[in-house]
Amino acid sequence: MIIGIDLGTTNSLVAVWKDGKSQLVPNGLGEMLTPSCVSLDEDGSVLVGKAAKERLQTHPERTASVFKRYMGSDKKVRLGERDFRAEELSAFVLKSLKADAEAFLGEPVTEAVITVPAYFSDAQRKATRTAGVLAGLKVERLLNEPSAAALAYGMHQLDSESRFLVFDLGGGTFDVSILELFEGVMEVRASAGDNYLGGEDVTSAIVDLFFQRNKLDSSLRNNPMFMQRLGASAEAAKRALSGGQQASVQIQLDGNDLLLEIDEEVLDKLCAPLLKRMREPVERALRDTNIRAHELDSIVLAGGATRMPVVRRLVTMMFGRFPTAEINPDEVVAMGAAVQAGLKMKDAALEEVVMTDVAPYSLGVAVSVRLADGKSSDGHFSPVIERNTAVPVSRVGHYHAVDPRQSYVLLRIYQGESRLVKDNILLGQLEVPLPQDGEKAVDVRFTYDVNGLLEVRANVDKSTESHVLIIEGNPGMLSDAEIKQRFIELEKIKMHPRDTLEMRTLLARADRIYQQVRGDLRNWLGMQITEFEAVLETQNPRLINPARSKFSDMLNSIESDSHLHSDFDPQPN
Ligand code: AMP
């Protein structure tokens, strides 16, 4: 069985293709959304999901979130005494989702389709595949998130003919894809996006405004506990504004109440520069397909941040119509990943469905150009594969040595759209020896597969020798040997047992609330936690089950009385 995974910046989901349809898989808490958070528990085991999210505030030095933003880089995140790369943290999330799928299906799972932002680079894609390997999963396919959303959406109308645009704004990334659906063939015509734009930027903008309005010193940003609490309160206010008109961010600092009131107007202003950045990819995708906004049949929303009214208004304004909200935007990508898994398994219900995708950015090499006065100018970009070419694709570029005395050429491979390579992204380089005599030229073959992974081969003219680009030494990527080593290391770290996760999550939540309240309520809550722990130690389900419900209701009631998920001062009576 191949499973479909949406590995998101803020939340991750797993779904399976079963009984002729996509089905979401619940996690150990019975929920579909698993927060992409990882925490190292005091007993050395790894907590993933809601329990880890609760610990972001109580144990920030042992907990990590939004690490998808570091995929493809060598940035490390310290949890306790150990450093982890983004691939490793993602691997913990994948392991947890794999265990959920195994519990749901009642069989071992070893293969997965994992979604990535369409605009993810080669290094980011390879890091995602590595995360899968580290989690013990063979990654059957990396699928672009908007293409996954389109697959889920298209399943509802396979017999119709339509053109639609997927507007996918997640926690950390923004993608746009334009697709055409015709007789069961779903063709991505163009993708564009921004890898560093998402709902988390809105939360950060609220945090910045909080600092500004309360005249806080920027050194407070180095206080992880304060920043996590502020972040959580800003996130709650942002979500509240998706349903209401007013919200506040409230935090206690050294006995003082700090406050920021936000209404729709303030939020709109904060979002204005972010919304501006969303226009460019939309316009580029339309331009590349030669389709006008009014010629689209529908606009499909994906990603949690499209719940924001200000984003929906932008979409409505840009396209002159309301977006469709047929499928839950949080779930649509995972549902599509499961369709792709079904396609991979050649499920009979999907016989008529075909999906084609594109390379979202141009790929090429750095060249020197000769000017009219005979001088040469370095650092120009020569595209070999143009953006939005259907994949898989293989193209050859033919290049000459600048100087006939040259004994080798250094091929530098870039991705991007700029005229000068300094403004594009360097993917790697390849040194190709040239023959002593004969033509000093090389053929460079770029092969871009359906996963969005690139292979570059160079052939010196009239020789059969071929040089394959191996982007080793790129700090953002692990070699095969390093992956093997890290797999062994990660195997030694135990995941928290799934069957006790619910209790662990409840206790993590209680700890967070305990740290937030003060006075009598705090003392009282401390006693309740100790008593609940004593019941858990009995290991007697007849005692534990009613105590758990009571404990959970009690936490709900404290949080709803406190009107905010941040600091508050109970009124002693
Ligand atoms: P995703 O990566 O698709 O899970 O998107 C998560 C992003 O959506 C995060 O930045 C969330 O803060 C944001 N989000 C989820 N629900 C809402 C909501 N109701 N209102 C505003 N933003 C939301």
* Residue 238 in contact with ligand 1 by CB distance below 6 A: yes
**pLDDT exceeds cutoff 70 at 157:** yes
Dihedral pair phi/psi, residue 5, rounded to 5°: -125, 130
* Residue 10 in contact with ligand 1 by CB distance below 6 A: yes
- Token couple for 401: 């040595």
* Residue 8 in contact with ligand 1 by CB distance below 6 A: yes
Q: What's the gap in Å between 239 CA and the centre of ligand 1?
A: 8
Dihedral pair phi/psi, residue 69, rounded to 5°: -65, -20
- Token couple for 159: 């017999």
- Token couple for 245: 């008109």
Q: What's the gap in Å between 518 CA and the centre of ligand 1?
A: 30
Structure confidence at residue 469 (pLDDT): 63
Rounded Cα distance, 74 and 475, in Å: 5
Q: What's the gap in Å between 34 CA and the centre of ligand 1?
A: 13
For residue 392, say if its preceding peptide bond is cis, omega within 30 degrees of 0.
Answer: yes
Report DSSP letters for 104-140, one per residue: HHTS---EEEEEE-TT--HHHHHHHHHHHHHTT-EEE
Counting atoms of ligand 1 from 1, which one is nearest the CA of 199?
10
Counting atoms of ligand 1 from 1, which one is nearest the CA of 173?
2
CA 34 to mean position of chain CA atoms: 13
Structure confidence at residue 564 (pLDDT): 41
pLDDT band at 568 (very low <50, low <70, confident <90, very high): very low
H/E/C letters for each residue in 199-268? Answer: HHHHHHHHHHHHHHHCCCCHHHHHCHHHHHHHHHHHHHHHHHCCCCCEEEEEEEECCEEEEEEEEHHHHH
Please give the single-letter amino acid code of residue 278: M
Q: What percent of the chain has pLDDT over 70?
A: 95
Per-residue CA distances from 314 to 147, 176, 420, 511 (Å)? 22, 14, 33, 40
Structure confidence at residue 474 (pLDDT): 63
Q: What's the gap in Å between 242 CA and the centre of ligand 1?
A: 10
- Residue located nearest, by CA, to atom 23 of ligand 1: 305
Q: Which among 304, 307, 285 is positioned nearest to 296, based on CA atoms?
A: 285
Residue whose entry in the numeric block shows the structure tokens 């080798």: 408
User: If you average pLDDT over residues 294-310, what whole number do you get?
Assistant: 94
* Residue 309 in contact with ligand 1 by CB distance below 6 A: no
Decide: residue 264, CB within 10 A, 0-12 exposed, 13-18 middle, 19+ buried. middle
- Residue located nearest, by CA, to atom 12 of ligand 1: 199
**pLDDT exceeds cutoff 90 at 571:** no
* Residue 11 in contact with ligand 1 by CB distance below 6 A: yes
Mutate to test the pocket of ligand 1, among 116, 267, 330 (most ligand atoms within 8 A of CB): 330
Structure confidence at residue 567 (pLDDT): 38
User: If you average pLDDT over residues 144-156, what whole number do you get?
Assistant: 91
Decide: residue 248, CB within 10 A, 0-12 exposed, 13-18 middle, 19+ buried. middle
User: If you average pLDDT over residues 467-484, what whole number do you get?
Assistant: 74
Q: What's the gap in Å between 35 CA and the centre of ligand 1?
A: 11
Counting atoms of ligand 1 from 1, which one is nearest the CA of 241?
20
Query: Considering the entire predicted model, what is its pTM?
Result: 0.92
Counting atoms of ligand 1 from 1, which one is nearest the CA of 238?
21
Mutate to test the pocket of ligand 1, among 6, 7, 11, 97 (most ligand atoms within 8 A of CB): 11
Please give the single-letter amino acid code of residue 342: G
Q: What's the gap in Å between 234 CA and the centre of ligand 1?
A: 12
Length in residues, the chain: 573
Q: H-helix or E-strand containing 298? A: strand 298-302
Q: Catalytic residue numbers?
A: 6, 68, 145, 168
- Token couple for 417: 């759209």
Structure confidence at residue 565 (pLDDT): 44
Please give the single-letter amino acid code of residue 452: G
Structure confidence at residue 404 (pLDDT): 80
* Residue 231 in contact with ligand 1 by CB distance below 6 A: no
Please state which of the ranges 6-10, 159-163, 180-184 shows the lowest mean pLDDT: 159-163
Structure confidence at residue 439 (pLDDT): 76
* Residue 36 in contact with ligand 1 by CB distance below 6 A: no
Q: What's the gap in Å between 131 CA and the centre of ligand 1?
A: 23
Counting atoms of ligand 1 from 1, which one is nearest the CA of 302?
3
Q: Which among 413, 411, 407 is positioned nearest to 383, based on CA atoms?
A: 413
* Residue 239 in contact with ligand 1 by CB distance below 6 A: yes
- Token couple for 298: 């529908």
Please state which of the ranges 64-78, 155-169, 226-240 shows the lowest mean pLDDT: 155-169
**pLDDT exceeds cutoff 60 at 60:** yes
| Residue 521: CB atoms within 10 Å | 20
User: If you average pLDDT over residues 43-66, what whole number do you get?
Assistant: 95
* Residue 9 in contact with ligand 1 by CB distance below 6 A: yes
Rounded Cα distance, 199 and 144, in Å: 19
Beta pairing, strands 174-182 & 162-169: antiparallel
Rg (CA), the chain: 26
Mutate to test the pocket of ligand 1, among 10, 71, 203 (most ligand atoms within 8 A of CB): 10
Spatial contact of 86 and 543, defined as CB atoms under 8 Å apart: no
- Token couple for 74: 């060598």
Q: What's the gap in Å between 307 CA and the centre of ligand 1?
A: 7
User: If you average pLDDT over residues 485-503, what whole number do you get?
Assistant: 94
Counting atoms of ligand 1 from 1, which one is nearest the CA of 333?
3
* Residue 171 in contact with ligand 1 by CB distance below 6 A: yes
Mean pLDDT over all residues of the chain? Answer: 91
Rounded Cα distance, 448 and 357, in Å: 11
Rounded Cα distance, 138 and 150, in Å: 24
Please state which of the ranges 137-141, 225-229, 508-512 shows the lowest mean pLDDT: 225-229
* Residue 59 in contact with ligand 1 by CB distance below 6 A: no
User: If you average pLDDT over residues 120-127, what whole number do you get?
Assistant: 91
Rounded Cα distance, 172 and 149, in Å: 17
- Residue located nearest, by CA, to atom 3 of ligand 1: 303
Counting atoms of ligand 1 from 1, which one is nearest the CA of 239?
20
pLDDT band at 563 (very low <50, low <70, confident <90, very high): very low
**pLDDT exceeds cutoff 50 at 566:** no
Structure confidence at residue 56 (pLDDT): 94
* Residue 306 in contact with ligand 1 by CB distance below 6 A: no
Q: What's the gap in Å between 517 CA and the centre of ligand 1?
A: 27
Decide: residue 224, CB within 10 A, 0-12 exposed, 13-18 middle, 19+ buried. middle
Structure confidence at residue 569 (pLDDT): 36
Structure confidence at residue 437 (pLDDT): 74
Strand ranges in 73-147 using DSSP code E only, listed in sequence order: 76-79, 82-85, 111-116, 138-144
Q: Which among 309, 290, 314, 300 is positioned nearest to 177, based on CA atoms?
A: 300
CA 496 to mean position of chain CA atoms: 23
* Residue 242 in contact with ligand 1 by CB distance below 6 A: yes
Q: What's the gap in Å between 272 CA and the centre of ligand 1?
A: 17
Q: H-helix or E-strand containing 5? A: strand 2-7
* Residue 307 in contact with ligand 1 by CB distance below 6 A: yes
pLDDT tens for each residue of 313-368: 999 999 999 998 788 999 999 999 999 999 999 988 888 889 999 999 999 999 99
H/E/C letters for each residue in 477-507? Answer: CCCHHHHHHHHHHHHCCCECCHHHHHHHHHH
Q: What's the gap in Å between 566 CA and the centre of ligand 1?
A: 19
**pLDDT exceeds cutoff 70 at 462:** no
**pLDDT exceeds cutoff 60 at 472:** no
Spatial contact of 446 and 459, defined as CB atoms under 8 Å apart: no
Please state which of the ranges 25-39, 353-367, 470-484, 503-517 shows the lowest mean pLDDT: 470-484
Residue whose entry in the numeric block shows the structure tokens 């799972």: 109
**pLDDT exceeds cutoff 80 at 300:** yes
Structure confidence at residue 184 (pLDDT): 85
Per-residue CA distances from 529 to 333, 503, 507, 525, 545 (Å)? 38, 12, 8, 6, 15
**pLDDT exceeds cutoff 90 at 407:** no
Mutate to test the pocket of ligand 1, among 66, 308, 310, 314 (most ligand atoms within 8 A of CB): 308
